[in-house]
Amino acid sequence: MAEIDLLRALPKTKRNIQKRAEAKDPAVIAIAKQYGEMYWDGPREYGYGGYRYDGRWRPVARDIIAHFGLAPGMRVLDVGCGKGFLVKDLMIECPGLEGFGIDISLYALMHCEPEVIGRLHLGTAEKLPFPDRSFDCVLSLNTIHNFARARAITAMQEIERLSGGRAFVQVDSYRTPEQKEIFESWVLTAEFHDYPEGWVKLFAEAGYTGDYYWTIIE
């Protein structure tokens, strides 16, 4: 289990923290947590503000492929895959790699990229519908924090079960009280969040042996 930044090549997103904080209310949060059209492609205060493919995940895919030594014929699963952009880019960067994804958002799956049609499944990280160690690598980026702590542990146990530790998980976190304050003014869907040491404790409780890193809003 190691801390490693596999998303370092991803462009930094410009966030209007003050505008999001002013717009947050229980109704907005409730709509965001439906993970429907408003979350993905509605106004920014509800989520992504329009989530469209632009190839930005390709360098990330290259780093993931290199880190795990992925090769044609191997199987990789993206837990919380959204519209499948990373799944697509993994297969572009490693032709012959078998990429798959799973997400709870029917809207995201219905608006996926053509290259991943049939490769994305509707389901939850708490009960991944695949046999033990059925993937050579399992990824989960900015998803596990959307569960309450006990459910997050279950999801991490599922990732470990499928991957045998060949996995990478990235979650929301913060290293300082100031970063925590910024995070709490921005976040819409996270149910559990903590400093890195709190997350590492959770990973250990789940028996997770894969790699991990943090999404920190500054």
Q: Which domain holds residue 156?
A: 56-215
51 within domain boundaries: no
Helix (H) or strand (E) holding 141: strand 137-141
Residue found under tokens 């409730």: 30
186 within domain boundaries: yes
- How many Å apart are CA 55 and CA 85, to the nearest integer? 8
- How many Å apart are CA 107 and CA 37, to the nearest integer? 6
pLDDT at 211: 98
Candidates 86, 128, 85; CA nearest to 104 is 128
- How many Å apart are CA 174 and CA 106, to the nearest integer? 30
- How many Å apart are CA 192 and CA 144, to the nearest integer? 8
Q: What is the mean pLDDT of each run of 10 residues along the chain (218 residues)?
A: 94 63 75 94 91 96 98 98 98 98 98 97 98 98 97 98 98 94 87 96 98 92
1 within domain boundaries: no
pLDDT at 22: 55
99 within domain boundaries: yes
pLDDT at 14: 63
In the chain, the number of structural domains is 1
pLDDT at 21: 54
CATH code of 206's domain: 3.40.50.150
pLDDT at 39: 94
21 within domain boundaries: no
Q: pTM above the 0.85 mark? A: yes
204 within domain boundaries: yes
31 within domain boundaries: no
146 within domain boundaries: yes
